[in-house]
Amino acid sequence: MSAPSRNQKLLAWVDEVAQMTRPDRIEWCNGSPDELDRMFDLMVDEGLATMLNPSKRPGCYLFRSDPSDVARVENRTYIACRNREDAGPSNNWADPAELKATMRELYDGCMVGRTMYVIPFTMGPLGSDISRIGVELTDSPYVVANMHIMTRVGNGVIKLLDDQADFIPCLHSVGKPLAAGASDEGTWPCAPLEDKFISHFPEERLIWSYGSGYGGNALLGKKCLALRIASVAARDEGWLAEHMLILKITCPEGKHRYVAAAFPSACGKTNLAMLIPTLPGWTVETIGDDIAWMRFDEEGYLHAINPETGFFGVAPGTSQESNPNAMTSIQRNTIFTNVALTEDQDIWWEGIGYDPPGELIDWQGRVWHDGSREPAAHPNARFTAPATQCPALAPEWRDPRGVRISAILFGGRRPSTVPLVHEAFDWNHGVFMGSSVGSEVTAAALDLQAGTVRRDPMAMLPFCGYHMGDYFRHWIETGARQDPAKLPKIFYVNWFRKDASGRWLWPGYGENSRVLAWIFRRCEGKAAARETAIGYMPDAAGIEAPAGVSDADLQELLTVDKAGWLREVASIREHYATFGERLPAELQQQLDALEQRLLQL
Ligand code: O2Y
Ligand code: MN
């Protein structure tokens, strides 16, 4: 094969990695449909993939991972930077030289018996000044197939690289060399937990991942590049790399606005991104379901792109009722990982909305009957589906200029205290709201008292590549540089309120459009709000209540619970203490001011 790229830095790096990992062969990926088919054929032949029923789910494949390799491994995820303090209290820090030495030993010969794939990809549309190029070297055809769906792999980026465009090197190995002539023979390849490393070198904009083939550990464009490394680049270059969905809302008069929203996991982010409004005349379209890269344009307005091209969504709980658009998106050309298999070679999972149609094979390959003790699908089972298959995808989702963001939403799972919606007084108050995001813990197994709030500021705790105190400062400084009149408004929403007896006060799902409508009207300056101790809030008349929500329920959803909020202030104080001196004084002031306003009630 002639030189597959004219990019000198890329050729040298591929050569250096090949000498260390010693693959049997090297294959340069071009992102073509033929290439994707070849990956699937290869993995079906090796017993790693099952082709699903083509008349029910054309182009779909099922994979079962190793039980030790089913989710992101936060305790094996590292930020390796010169000063330990720069990684902050929320990250595992490692010394870059030491970590590299450890990992080089693991990488030594780790691709023997395998093919090393070179995947050139972009995060974000080609030609966008917000987009970034990455190149992932991996010995996993499963990663190649997923990267085809989740990122832009192909000739466009190869051409940019030929023109010597810079790229972020992403090295990945499953960590399981093969003996001569051996194959995986149906066993998901990965390394034991203690040899897994998901390592980031933010000062060098470099990613090294070893030992896991699953999701965020292995598809390095997603959490590693688009959040951990990009958050550092964003801080240094004055933009925002955020764990946010992006959606488009159109009102009955035909005007549209774009909203970005951050929620911790298990708060229905993909459902909100694909919401079907129950409010007559309103529509919601999807731009992205997980990550937003945002930059202020020359006129001072915040613009966002979705850097991804697919959805890597949690399967269990996804149903025709909870998310019809997701169900349509996964009808074809989708990779399913760790879901259950039906007798007619279709998929099933807990919460899919119908009973298992007979005997199943569970995610570990075992026969499963209704009533079996363990779930048939792993709770973190996933679908990887192309964004273009989402019926609600907005055509401008790939606009290189991005979309202008009118509002930023934060939220968490808060059965008590936090009202249905409240709006920040200004940007810094909104940053304060984002910094306090969290979900109430219910599972006793987590060793925390039920009712404790597990804080996940801006839903970025596992994904910020540097100290969270500096991250809050970056948000404050970014806002301070702009004309306040052009900044997006910031809101805190809570779809998860319960009453004292534990009954849900708000139905959620499509009914959340009623809250989005108030937010939309606030952005237009057309909705009334009252000033409260915690922010601007609608009166009951400002939200059209859905069936089943009584006047009293709505009152409770929109009331400031003084005692609850004073407990919240104390809890945020404890949370803030974890950031030490790097917590911006502005946020401490916001907290003190909130307490004072509450005490005056
Ligand atoms: O478990 C994994 O490896 C995937 S994590 C993930 C995937 C898609 C979107 N968000 C997430 C997340 O953890 O926030
Ligand atoms: Mn996510």
Residue with structure tokens 């805190």? 492
Cα–chain-centroid distance for residue 316?
A: 17
**385 alpha carbon – ligand 1 mean position (Å):** 14
Q: Which of 522, 485, 549, 295 is nearest to 409 (CA)?
A: 522
Correct CATH for 242-309+395-599 of 1.10.3720.10, 3.90.228.20, 3.40.47.10, 2.60.40.420: 3.90.228.20
Q: In ligand 1, which atom is closest to the CA atom of 290? A: 9
Atom from ligand 1 closest to the CA of residue 243: 14
**And the tokens for 231?**
């958050």
Atom of ligand 1 nearest to the CA of 70: 1
SS (HEC) of 445-479: HHCCCCCCEEECHHHCCCCCCCCHHHHHHHHHHHH
Q: How far is the CA of 244 from the centre of ligand 2 (A)?
A: 8
Q: Give tens-digit pLDDT for 364-409.
A: 999 999 888 899 999 999 999 999 999 999 999 999 999 999 999 9
Ligand number nearest CA of 312 is 1
Ligand 1, from 306, 382, 384, 439: best to mutate by most atoms within 8 Å of Cβ?
382
Indicate the CATH number for domain 310-389.
2.170.8.10
From ligand 2's centre to the CA of 313, what distance in Å?
A: 9
Residue 7: pLDDT over 70: yes
Boundaries of every domain in the chain? 8-47+76-237, 242-309+395-599, 310-389
Nearest-CA residue for atom 14 of ligand 1: 265
Close Cβ partners of 190 (under 8 Å, ≥ 6 residues apart): 65, 66, 68, 69, 174, 175, 176, 196, 211, 212, 213, 214
Coil, strand or helix: which one is 141? helix
Q: State residue 372's pLDDT score.
A: 83
Concatenated DSSP letters of 308-337 = -SEEEEE-TT--TTT-HHHHHHTSSS-EEE
Ligand 1 nearest-atom number relative to CA 459: 14
| pLDDT one-digit tens code per residue, 528-585 | 999 999 999 999 999 999 999 999 999 999 999 999 999 999 999 999 999 999 999 9
Say which DSSP state 504 is in.
Answer: B
Ligand 1 atom 8: the closest Cα is on which residue? 312
CB 383 within 8 A of CB 334: yes
Write the CATH number of the domain with boundaries 8-47+76-237.
Answer: 3.40.449.10
Fill in the DSSP letter of residue 488: P
Average pLDDT over residues 268-274: 95
pTM over 0.95? The answer is yes
Which amino acid residue places its CA nearest to atom 1 of ligand 1?
Answer: 71
For residue 349, give the 3-state DSSP assignment.
coil
Query: Residue 117: is its pLDDT beyond 60?
Result: yes
**pLDDT at res. 467:** 98
Atom of ligand 1 nearest to the CA of 312: 8
Residue 266: predicted pLDDT: 85
Ligand 1 atom 10, closest CA: 290
pLDDT in tens, 503-518: 999 999 999 999 999 9
| Residue nearest to ligand 1 atom 12, measured at CA | 265
Residue where the block lists tokens 């149903």: 319
3-state SS of 269-306?
A: HHHHHCCCCCCCCCEEEEEECCCEEEEECCCCCEEEEC
pLDDT band at 449 (very low <50, low <70, confident <90, very high): low
Q: In the predicted model, is pLDDT for residue 15 greater than 80?
A: yes
The whole-number pLDDT of residue 525 equals 97
Question: Is the pLDDT score of 433 beyond 90?
Answer: yes
Q: Which ligand is nearest to the CA of 380?
A: 1
Q: What is the mean pLDDT of residues 158-184?
A: 95
Average pLDDT (319-343) is 98
Query: 65 φ, ψ to 5°?
Result: -85, 175
Which atom of ligand 1 lies closest to the CA of 380?
1
Query: 237 alpha carbon to ligand 2 midpoint, in Å?
Result: 23
pLDDT tier at 447 (50, 70, 90 boundaries)? low
Average pLDDT score over the chain: 96
Q: Read off the DSSP letter of residue 226.
A: I
Percentage of the chain exceeding pLDDT 70: 98
How remote is the CA of residue 556 from the centroid of ligand 1, in Å? 33
pLDDT for 177 equals 98
pLDDT of residue 1: 54
Residue of minimum CA distance from atom 7 in ligand 1: 312
Model confidence pLDDT, tens digit, residues 214-236: 999 999 999 999 999 999 999 99
* 41 Cα to the center of ligand 1, angstroms: 26
Give the mutation target among 70, 72, 337, 460 for probing the ligand 1 site: most ligand atoms within 8 A of CB: 72
- 3-state helix vs strand vs coil in the chain, percent to 5: 35, 20, 45
Question: What's the confidence (pLDDT) of residue 373?
Answer: 86
Q: Which ligand is nearest to the CA of 216?
A: 1
Q: Is 445's pLDDT higher than 80?
A: no
At residue 286, φ and ψ (nearest 5 deg) are -95, 135
What per-residue confidence (pLDDT) applies to 441?
82
- By the 10 Å C-beta count (0-12 exposed, 13-18 middle, 19+ buried), 287 is classed as buried
C-alpha span between 268 and 494 (Å, rounded) = 11
Nearest alpha carbon to residue 329 among 270, 415, 414 = 270
CA–CA distance, 535 with 491 (Å, rounded to integer): 9
Q: How far apart are CA 225 and CA 126, in angstroms?
A: 17
CA-nearest of 12, 9, 13, 7 to 163 is 7
Residue type, 368: W
| Residue 24 structure tokens | 């049997």
Give CA–CA dist 257/243, Å, rounded.
20
Ligand nearest to the CA of 381: 1
Tokens of 597: 């306003």
Q: How far apart are CA 134 and CA 160, in angstroms?
A: 11
Token output for 413: 């799972």
What distance in Å separates the CA atoms of residue 300 and residue 538, rounded to the nearest whole number? 28
Q: Whose CA is nearest to atom 6 of ligand 1?
A: 216
Distance CA 298, CA 300 (A): 5
290 CA → ligand 2 middle, Å? 5
CA 387 – CA 310 distance, rounded (Å): 4
Residues with CB under 6 A from ligand 1: 71-72, 214-217, 265, 290, 312, 380
The pLDDT value given to residue 557: 98
- What's the full length of the chain, in residues? 601
382: β partners: 314, 337
What pLDDT score does 257 carry? Answer: 98
Spatial distance between the Cα atoms of 271 and 510, rounded to a whole number of angstroms: 9
Is the pLDDT assigned to residue 448 strictly greater than 80?
no
Give the model's pLDDT for residue 2: 63
DSSP 59: T
Tell me the two tokens of residue 381. Answer: 């089972």
In tens, the pLDDT along 41-64 reads: 999 999 999 999 999 999 999 999
Range 144-178 burial, b when 16+ CB lie within 10 A, else e:
bbbbbbbbbbbeebbebbeeebebbbbbbbbbbbb
Which of 222, 309, 363, 439 to probe ligand 1 with, by most ligand atoms within 8 A of CB? 222
| DSSP β-ladder status, 206-210 and 360-361 | unpaired
Cα(138)–Cα(132) distance, integer angstroms: 19
Hey, which residues are catalytic here? 267
- Residue type (1 letter), 194: E
Tally of CB atoms within 10 A around 372: 13
* Residue from 312, 329, 335 whose mutation best tests the ligand 1 pocket (most atoms within 8 A of CB): 312
Please tell me the distance from the alpha carbon of residue 438 to that of residue 410, in angstroms, as a whole number.
Answer: 10
Tokens 């915690």: give the residue: 534
Q: Calculate how far, in angstroms, residue 243's C-alpha sits from the geometric centre of ligand 2.
A: 6
CB 272 within 8 A of CB 411: no
